[in-house]
Amino acid sequence: MGVWALLVAAGTGERLGEERPKAFVRLGELPLLAESLRRLEESGWIDSIVVAAPSGWEEPTILLAEELSAAKVVAAVTGGATRAESVRAALSEVPDAAAVALVHDAARPLLTEELIERVLTPLSEGWDGVVPGLGIPDTVKRVRDDAIVETVDRSELVAVQTPQAFLTAVLRRAYAGDLSGATDCSALVEAAGGRVKVVRGDPRLMKVTTTADLELVASWL
């Protein structure tokens, strides 16, 4: 019952320029979604999986899970108009007895067992949530109407990734309210007063957005 993975895969992926949704664009022989699904299935940390699928792609998602013998998949729910709404739809399938919810973007295929462990461990040390983050190598500017307003101190900045892990009760409370403007789960948990820890992320866990990203990830498989 312990750890439920919510795999959000309902994005359109318009920037890839393909007809099918991003989760079903090919990465090697299989849809992009297959890579993270297989890795969650094989993880020793994950007990059950809920996939938020693009509308109309629920059945292909279940068929893919069957093809991969991914027996941990308990449901493929219809995703929402935004990522946050897709997370909320998947969360509705998670029972209260599940202590931990781990939310992952299907658009980040190269999930590792080490990173899953890294985001889960601090939850037993009093944190409400844990997210992977990477420092920002470039200098960062705040810009308005093409003019630089300020140079931001990057030493305090991280770019966050998924998987993001939370105590299920905390995540549920955070998702009970207004979801507008939330681009990750942590933002809602932070806004609800939750304590969220950042751990070291993984450069290979990049989010596939363009065809070039897809080619790069394929070269790392």
For ligand C5P, the closer of residues 10 and 102 by Cβ is: 10
CB of 122 or CB of 162, closer to ligand C5P: 162
CB nearer ligand C5P, residue 60 or residue 80 = 80
* Distance of alpha carbon 128 from alpha carbon 14, whole angstroms: 34
Nearest CA to 94 out of 41, 144, 145, 166 is that of 166
80, 88 in Cβ contact below 8 A?
A: yes
| Paired residues of 76 in beta bridges | 51
Could you tell me the smallest distance in angstroms from the CB atom of residue 190 to ligand C5P?
A: 18
DSSP per-residue codes, 206-218? PPP-SHHHHHHHH
Closest CB to ligand C5P belongs to which residue? 11
CB 10 within 8 A of CB 55: yes
Identify which of residues 46 and 127 has a Cβ nearer to ligand C5P in the complex: 46
- CB of 103 or CB of 127, closer to ligand C5P: 103
Nearest approach, Cβ of residue 160 and ligand C5P (Å): 12
Tell me how far, at minimum, the Cβ of 147 lies from ligand C5P, in Å. 28
Q: In 1-147, which ranges are continuous DSSP H helix?
A: 32-42, 58-67, 83-91, 113-120
Cα(127)–Cα(107) distance, integer angstroms: 26
Q: Which two tokens stand for residue 132?
A: 């992977």
- Interacting residues with ligand C5P (CB under 6 A): 8-11, 22-23, 52, 79-83, 86, 105-107, 207
Give the shortest CB-43-to-ligand C5P separation in angstroms: 18
Q: How far is the CB of 195 from ligand C5P (least distance, A)?
A: 24
